């Protein structure tokens, strides 16, 4: 990391707005999944206000869908907590990889930024940092774009979503995966990064084959995060 370059840590309204605009194209696809969630939550018996409030304050698509699978007259709270943790465990790896650039912020800003961290804006911010460019605007602005379109999509699903009930039939479930793969391929290439991604990928595959359902997310995130923590960055990697 180029510690002498203070511009890389910049975070202002202009950078946030640029990040918002840059993530808007991919955020448009989020509307479809938000609508699918809104419709599914309606069918599960949640009230309209509860559904929109849930997307507004939780902002975790896959975890919200998983919660619906466990929803009923008696909600298994502990099971739901474990399931949601397993699905969102990848944020452990996100936090570990972002720490070198977040550690300069105050605690309130640091955790405020992470509130809107998601797969797409995390990937683009890491790519910017690896090129010596400021990435916090992408992280915050892009996160706000993804969040706002997710909430809007949820609202559409509650009121108009019958025609968007199955985004997989349109192949839209592959959009985010392909986007993240492209970010990894175009991102920083060095032995450390290959070790992090390789360890995370291999361990998650093995966990997917041999461990309980959803545990591969936790195992992959933890193993990649551990490698990133014990293998510090060197100056010649930037």
Residue 227 in domain: yes
Shared domain check, 59 and 112: yes
Shared domain check, 175 and 156: yes
Inform me whether the pLDDT recorded for 104 exceeds 50.
yes
Inform me whether the pLDDT recorded for 78 exceeds 50.
yes
Shared domain check, 52 and 162: yes
112: left (phi over 0), alpha (psi -120 to 50) or beta: alpha
Shared domain check, 166 and 181: yes
The per-residue pLDDT for range 154-182, each reduced to its tens digit, is 998 888 765 555 555 555 455 445 544 54
- Concatenating the DSSP letter of every residue in 164-233 gives GS-GGGGTGGGHHHHHHHHHHHHS--SHHHHHHHHHHHHHHHHHHHHS-TTHHHHHHHHHHHHHHHHS--
Domain edge (last residue) among 170, 187, 204:
187
Shared domain check, 219 and 179: no
Are 62 and 87 spatial neighbours (Cβ–Cβ below 8 Å)? Answer: yes
Please report, in angstroms and rounded to a whole number, the separation of the first and last CA atoms in the chain: 6
Residue 2 in domain: no
Shared domain check, 197 and 178: no
Residue 237 tokens read as 């990697």
Residue 145 in domain: yes
Residue 15 in domain: yes
Q: Which residues of 47-79 are buried (b: 16+ CB within 10 A; e: fewer)?
A: eeeebbebbeeebbbbbbebbbeeeeeeeeeee
Place of tokens 């605007």: 137
Contacts of 152 (CB under 8 A, 6+ apart): 31, 34
Q: How confident is the model at residue 3 (pLDDT cuts 50, 70, 90)?
A: very low
Are 37 and 157 spatial neighbours (Cβ–Cβ below 8 Å)? Answer: yes
Inform me whether the pLDDT recorded for 137 exceeds 70.
yes
What is the per-residue pLDDT for 167? 54
Residue 6 in domain: no
Distance of CA 165 to the CA centre of its chain: 22
Residue 5 in domain: no
The per-residue pLDDT for range 54-65, each reduced to its tens digit, is 999 988 887 888
Q: Smallest Cα–Cα separation from 16: which of 136, 102, 183? A: 136
**Global pTM value:** 0.69
Angle, vertex CA 41, rays to CA 115 and CA 117, nearest 5? 15
Q: Which domain holds residue 81?
A: 11-187
Listed ranges 134-148, 201-215, 220-234; the one with the highest mean pLDDT: 134-148
Distances (CA, A) of 236 to 117, 197, 233: 28, 19, 9
Q: Sign of dihedral through CA atoms 172, 177, 181, 183?
A: positive
Q: How confident is the model at residue 189 (pLDDT cuts 50, 70, 90)?
A: low
- Of residues 174 and 220, the one with the higher pLDDT is 220
Residue 198 in domain: yes
Shared domain check, 74 and 123: yes
Query: What number is the average pLDDT over the span 119-138?
Result: 89
What is the per-residue pLDDT for 150? 93
Query: What number is the average pLDDT over the span 210-234?
Result: 72
Q: What is the DSSP letter of 105?
A: S
Inform me whether the pLDDT recorded for 188 exceeds 60.
no
C-beta neighbour count of 131 within 10 angstroms: 13
- Of residues 76 and 157, the one with the higher pLDDT is 157
Shared domain check, 117 and 49: yes
Shared domain check, 91 and 154: yes
Q: For the chain, how many structural domains are there in total?
A: 2
Shared domain check, 57 and 161: yes
């Amino acid at each position: 990391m180029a510690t002498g370059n203070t511009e890389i840590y910049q975070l202002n309204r202009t950078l946030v707005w640029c990040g918002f605009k840059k993530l808007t194209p991919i955020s448009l696809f989020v509307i479809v999944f938000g609508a699918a969630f809104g419709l599914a939550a309606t069918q599960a018996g949640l009230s309209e206000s509860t559904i929109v409030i849930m997307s507004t304050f939780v902002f975790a698509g896959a975890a919200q869908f998983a919660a619906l699978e466990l929803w009923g007259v008696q909600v298994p709270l502990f099971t739901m907590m474990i399931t949601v943790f397993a699905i969102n465990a990848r944020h452990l790896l996100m936090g570990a990889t972002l720490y070198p650039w977040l550690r300069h912020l105050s605690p309130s800003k640091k955790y405020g930024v992470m509130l809107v961290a998601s797969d797409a804006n995390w990937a683009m911010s890491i790519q910017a940092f690896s090129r010596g460019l400021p990435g916090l605007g992408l992280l915050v602005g892009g996160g706000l774009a993804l969040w706002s379109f997710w909430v809007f999509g949820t609202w559409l699903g509650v009121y108009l979503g019958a025609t968007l009930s199955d985004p997989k039939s349109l192949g839209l479930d592959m959009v985010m995966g392909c986007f993240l793969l492209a970010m990894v391929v175009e991102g920083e290439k060095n032995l450390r990064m290959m070790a992090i991604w390789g360890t995370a990928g291999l361990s998650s595959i093995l966990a997917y084959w041999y461990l309980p359902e959803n545990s591969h997310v936790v195992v992959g995130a933890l193993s990649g995060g551990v490698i990133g923590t014990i293998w510090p960055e060197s100056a010649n990697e930037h």
